[in-house]
Structure 1
Amino acid sequence: MQSRITIKDAKIVDNMLVLQADQYENDENELQAKGQMLVDSDNLAFIYILETSEQYVYVGIPYTMWKQLDEAKIKELPVYVQVNNKQIELINVIDELSFLLDNIKDNGNYGEELERKVVELFSL
């Protein structure tokens, strides 16, 4: 079973990138960073995986937040997601992102629009 959280804002605060999530209906205290990312080509988003003892929770980072994500990557800033009242560090997010970016660039398998957005919004 899985649920999804969408990021609605991203800001660099105190030398870290904080991704502000939509309201999460379940207990945010159970959420743990898994250290893995996926790509959602259809919705032009990167997906960071959180988990609980019972399910995965997908954190969708839409392309409208990618400039801030790129800045965090360049400056090697830690990235956190703010879920309700809990802030969770997204461990391994920059390494995972870098791996995905390398794979997406010049690779039509992810879809032309996603590839175009990646090249446009990230410093590659």
Structure 2
Amino acid sequence: MRKKISMLKADIINQELLLTPESDADLSELTPKGQMLVDSDGASFIYIMENKDDYTYISLPEPIWANIKAAMADNIPAVLAQGDKKIELEGLYEELSYLIENIKGNSNYGEDFVSKVEQVFLS
């Protein structure tokens, strides 16, 4: 079964975008896959991580998009951080840019989601 970890906040600190999970998730076995999905119903972008048996979805919800956009503009490394464990989300900005371009004006993602993405990332 796939696990989903939602990010509670995204802060730019010391030239890193630190993504903090909302729970005490176990990050020890996770490795970045460099691919993303869209959860238009949940207004979230999903970064895919792998572990030895399955995938874990890292949910990047709308409330943290503004900080992601700011970090993306300066190409600051995006890092999943919990305690002393840090994992760079390789390829995040490239994947996100690709998705944003596909979402722009595309009603297949739902008008509400498209509107939210355009307001944050394309304004």
- TM-score normalised over the length of structure 1: 0.93
Per-residue CA distance 1:15-59 (angstroms, 9 max, x = gap)? 111110122454x21110110110000100000011101110001
SS in 1 for 2:69: helix
Amino acid at match of 2:92: V
Mapped contact 1:37–1:49 kept (Cα < 8 A): yes
Per-residue CA distance 1:56-92 (angstroms, 9 max, x = gap)? 0001110000001101111111101114541110000
Match for residue 59 of structure 1? 58
Mapped contact 1:23–1:84 kept (Cα < 8 A): no
Amino acid at match of 1:7: M
Please give the residue correspondences for 1:39-58 in structure 2 after superposition, counting only pairs within 5 Å: 39-58=38-57
Please give the residue correspondences for 1:1-124 in structure 2 after superposition, counting only pairs within 5 Å: 1-26=1-26, 28-123=27-122
Amino acid at match of 2:67: Q
Gaps of 5+ in 2: none
Amino acid at match of 2:59: G
Cα distance in 2 between the residues matched to 1:25 and 1:74 = 28
Moved over 4 A (4+): none
- TM-score normalised over the length of structure 2: 0.94
Give % identity.
Answer: 38
Q: How many residues align?
A: 123
Cα distance in 2 between the residues matched to 1:22 and 1:42 = 19
Cα distance in 2 between the residues matched to 1:50 and 1:81 = 11
Cα distance in 2 between the residues matched to 1:67 and 1:79 = 13
Cα distance in 2 between the residues matched to 1:80 and 1:68 = 13
Cα distance in 1 between the residues matched to 2:9 and 2:56 = 18
